[in-house]
Amino acid sequence: MTFRNGLASLLRPEDSVLVLIDHQPYQLTNLNSHDPHMVVNNATALAKTAKAFGVPTILTSVIADRGGLIFPQITDVFPGQAVIDRTFINTWEDKKVVDAVTATGRKQLIIAGLWTEICVAMPAIQAAGEGWDVTVVTDASGGVSVEAHEVAIQRMIAGGVNMMTWLAVASEWQRDWARTEHAAELTEVLVQHVAGSGIAFLWEQQLLNTPVPKVAG
């Protein structure tokens, strides 16, 4: 196995492309590895972060007529963008998706989807074998059980796929708070989707902008 380490192995927004797979109602009904609310929140946060950093994002569903449309929380981030609907369970066997990813000219392929053990694992393993630098965002994905999700992660790691959570992806894209061009947009995502930390930030801003009382008590 080739170890993923060194500065060049970290994610860079200019080299990244995101594929969000099958965040649909049918898959959500049998999501048991995570709290469904958390997966919707995290997938939406990942989509918003990608948009903030200018990372091309491909949206794809499987047989949407029966499985349902991609969650509006995600599609609303990219108004007017077409969703690629497939019959292939393995996204990476669908030429339209692969062509869309290839057209970006980027090699850091980031994937999240439902379910981890099927619709995420198959394309991640295939793409890694074809030379793509593949990262799976585990907390914006989920499986039909904790076991299914965790076994899929083990299988993908054995196949050379990198594992991260959405906030770790966002942090690698930002990398340095002195890079201010996307900091305000990222902060807004954090406020909306990181619960305690986001609320703490708002509280901090409130305190900084609250005059000190002239008379104590």
pLDDT tens for 170-195 read 999 999 999 999 999 999 999 999 98
Q: Give the angle 212-216-217 at the CA atoms, nearest 5°.
A: 120
Confidence of residue 2 (pLDDT cuts 50, 70, 90): low
pLDDT band at 144 (very low <50, low <70, confident <90, very high): very high
DSSP-assigned beta bridge partners for residue 190: none
Q: Of the CATH numbers 3.30.1370.60, 3.40.50.850, 3.30.497.10, 3.20.20.100, which one belongs to the domain with range 13-174?
A: 3.40.50.850
Query: Does the active-site annotation cover 119?
Result: yes
Question: What pTM, to 2 d.p., does this model score?
Answer: 0.93
- Which is the catalytic residue, given 47, 77, 114, 119? 119
Q: Which of 89, 85, 151 is nearest to 114 (CA)?
A: 89
Strands (E), the chain: 16-21, 57-62, 84-86, 108-113, 133-137, 162-164
Q: What is the pLDDT of residue 1?
A: 53
User: Which pLDDT score is estimated for 217?
Assistant: 55
Rounded to a whole number of angstroms, the distance between the first and last alpha carbons of the chain is 65
Residue partners of 59: CB distance under 8 A and separation at least 6: 20, 70, 74, 75, 78, 81, 82, 83, 84
